[in-house]
Structure 1
Amino acid sequence: MFNPSLGFILLFVENPLKSSAFYQNLFNLSPIEESPTFSLFALQNGVMLGLWSKFTAEPKVEACAGAQEIGFPAIEVDALYEEWGKKEVTVLQKPCDMDFGRTFVIQDPDGHRIRVYKLREEI
């Protein structure tokens, strides 16, 4: 029987070493694997974040970056926005309240969207 659980997320990037440096700075986390064509981060919840060269990935990557986003929950959305803002990130959406809760969105060097959120508490 298959019990689905998320094991990894792969982002296809122009330059894995450049993207790795971006995520190292953003997360204050070193990759567990790094090469010119691939970097891998072990996130706290056990999910892996891979950065794979779009030029060496198999099968060949046809899609453009930015058509999807990865999301990270945070207790203090605004405080994290201020911290990350000091790291020269591209902001797509400043902190705001939406139907689901408080959120902001930034972009990595390849145009992948990174959403930080805190879900609205149920009353």
Structure 2
Amino acid sequence: MTMPIGPSFIALQVRDLAKSAAFYKDVFGFTAADRNPPGAVVFITRPIALALREPLRPLPENVPLGTGMVLWVACDDADAFHNLIVERGGKVLSPPSDGPFGRFFVAGDPDGYTITFHTAQS
């Protein structure tokens, strides 16, 4: 029987690719791959690649994107990473706290996507 294996690629459609890519690099600290497909920026993340891309069709105006979607990204230390994002001018939506998956906080991007950063479990 054929069945899904699991996520293998995540792409967020953004309103302004250059602005969003700069934010993800400068504030969140992601590193872009050396080569990217047209209309997209792929970041070097593991185990699944994360990309920003131009929209495939018009996006809704004046509403945050990603409503209802939860994206968790592991980091070495949620508290230290929270402080770094604040220093870089990032928008923190929920301060560091403890949850079922360990220490985490929630930050927002220019398009309204929310990213939950959590301390990676070993």
Change in 2 beyond 3 A, CA 1:119/1:40: closer
Which has the larger strand fraction? Answer: 1
Q: Which residue of 1 aligns with 2:65?
A: 65
Change in 2 beyond 3 A, CA 1:117/1:28: closer
Is contact 1:77–1:103 with CA below 8 Å preserved after alignment?
Answer: yes
Q: Write the distance in 2 (CA, Å) between the matches of 1:116 and 1:16.
A: 22
- Alignment length, in residue pairs? 116
Q: Write the distance in 1 (CA, Å) between the matches of 2:64 and 2:4.
A: 30
Shift of 1:34: 6.3
TM-score by length of 2: 0.77
After TM superposition, what 4+ stretches of structure 1 lie above 2 angstroms from structure 2? 60-64, 98-101, 118-121
Aligned positions of 1:24-103 closer than 5 A: 24-25=25-26, 26-31=28-33, 32-33=35-36, 35=38, 37-45=39-47, 47-54=48-55, 57=56, 65-67=65-67, 68-103=69-104
Q: Percent identity?
A: 25
Shift of 1:105: 0.4
Cα RMSD over matched residues? 2.6
For residues 5-60 of structure 1, give each alpha carbon's deviation from its aligned partner in whole angstroms, at most 9, with x where no partner exists: 3221111111011111111222241243165x322223132x22121223xx05x6
Shift of 1:107: 0.4
Change in 2 beyond 3 A, CA 1:50/1:119: closer
* Residue 117 of structure 1 pairs with residue 122 of structure 2: no
TM-score by length of 1: 0.76
Gaps of 5+ in 2: none
Is contact 2:70–2:115 with CA below 8 Å preserved after alignment?
Answer: yes
Is contact 2:75–2:119 with CA below 8 Å preserved after alignment?
Answer: yes
